[in-house]
Amino acid sequence: MKIKNEVMLITYADSLGENLHELSNVLSKHLEKAIGGVHLLPFFPSSGDRGFSPQDYTIVDSAFGSWEDIEELGNKYYLMFDFMINHISRESVYFKDFKKNHLNSKYKDMFIIKDEFFPKGRPTQEEVDLIYKRKDKAPFQEVVFDNGLKEEVWNTFGEDQIDLDVSTELTKEFIKSTIKDMASHGCSLVRLDAFAYAIKKLGTTDFFVEPEIWDLLKFVEVEAEKYGIELLPEIHEHFSIQHKISTHDYFVYDFALPMITLYSLYSGKSNRLAAWLEKSPMKQFTTLDTHDGIGVVDAKDLLSDEELEYTSEKLYEVGANVKKIYSSANYNNLDIYQINSTYFSALGDDDQSYLLARAIQCFAPGIPQVYYVGLLAGRNDIELLEKTKEGRNINRHYYDLAEIDKEIERPVVKKLLNLLSFRNQEDAFSLDGKIEIETPTDSTIIIKRINLDTNSEVILSADLVSKEFEITKNNKLVNL
């Protein structure tokens, strides 16, 4: 199914119900008008990181269901799958064969041996320090092979996730076959997870290395185009990188919007939000929440350092059950640039503030993505957090069917679903249309979305201090 300009739900296969079958029933029962697409977070057999250490892309984890379940979803919704192009599980057949047979493994060329990559006597400490990383230790892991020899291999993220050498023909064939297989099961959009880390090159930060990163993206695009699949490179960094990708006509993420919206609602000031919306591309997916934390680095230079600090500190002050320790090593937080909280709790579990945040997202350029916890205005799950000591689990609650039926009845959730349904139905939100921003006062903002072909117009008028807002369509008030 082609991508539709309709709200995309982000969910795990076992978080809105226990499996894909129950997820499908939840969508049919409660969400058909509010949701047009589904980003199914990794549903493959995995050795860790909640699916992001994939062992085998050709099968569905039997705990979730089958390819038939996913294809059934694909008949109703456009689907996005994750492809961890930078790494694969140490429990994959590829790495296990490499560990067993070492240099004689037929999969050896898929991995990066430190001593083969760097000239003798290198890397120097200066070179190691130059490498862009989001964990304290250097991105290498010692592996003891079955022949007793030891080698260090490239390992950017967790110990389960072994980096791939995307420059070799063997890995390129793996990429081709993975894209083809995803297409055969109804994938409309491939999210290239950890894409910016995929190119390794001597003397660089090994992060978004140009021009090689463009060559890789083009290679994947050529394969994806064979099957009518679009790409969404996933990068958490300075907004200028997203804009650079956008100029190449790819979809991008708006990962800056979450912090800018929080800043605007905390401070009551409209200037930063207005400036960002005016420069945002239309060909993008917007977010307020994802399966990870709330990104701070993504809004750098859109908010000043002082404003970023203010927003972060205010989040801990205003947020419900948000503590700094939850985003620390004590709770296995690997990314110091993210704050762990649900978006609803980041706004103090306040219905009106939350609905305004979602209204801003719906009127922003692009297609809204709504994380499943956010869809149900979920509060921070302290019980799961403490049980697992995993910071990100504060925002990864497991909903059973009875709980979903109950949460759907909350007024804030009903209004949110009505808002999302309105967003899906109105052609004024066309990605080929126009956006106009006004800030009548320091604390108010007016966002107009206009379809130039039909002249239909929808307007969001909001007061960022009182959190009151109204939506009009062709000058008539819209009731949510």
Q: Which active-site residues does the annotation give?
A: 193, 234
Dmax over CA atoms of the chain, in Å, equals 75
Amino acid at 190: V
16 φ, ψ to 5°? -110, 80
Torsion angle, alpha carbons of 37, 41, 42, 48, to 10: 180
Helix axes 212-225, 169-183, angle to 10 degrees: 40
Measure the CA–CA gap between 45 and 319, rounded to whole angstroms. 35
Measure the CA–CA gap between 70 and 58, rounded to whole angstroms. 13
The pair of structure tokens assigned to 44 is: 């493959």
Tell how far CA 32 is from the center of its chain.
22
Measure the CA–CA gap between 244 and 382, rounded to whole angstroms. 38
End-to-end CA distance of the chain: 29
Region of 114 please: left (phi>0), alpha (psi -120 to 50) or beta: alpha
* Pick from 9, 21, 13, 26: nearest CA to 402: 26
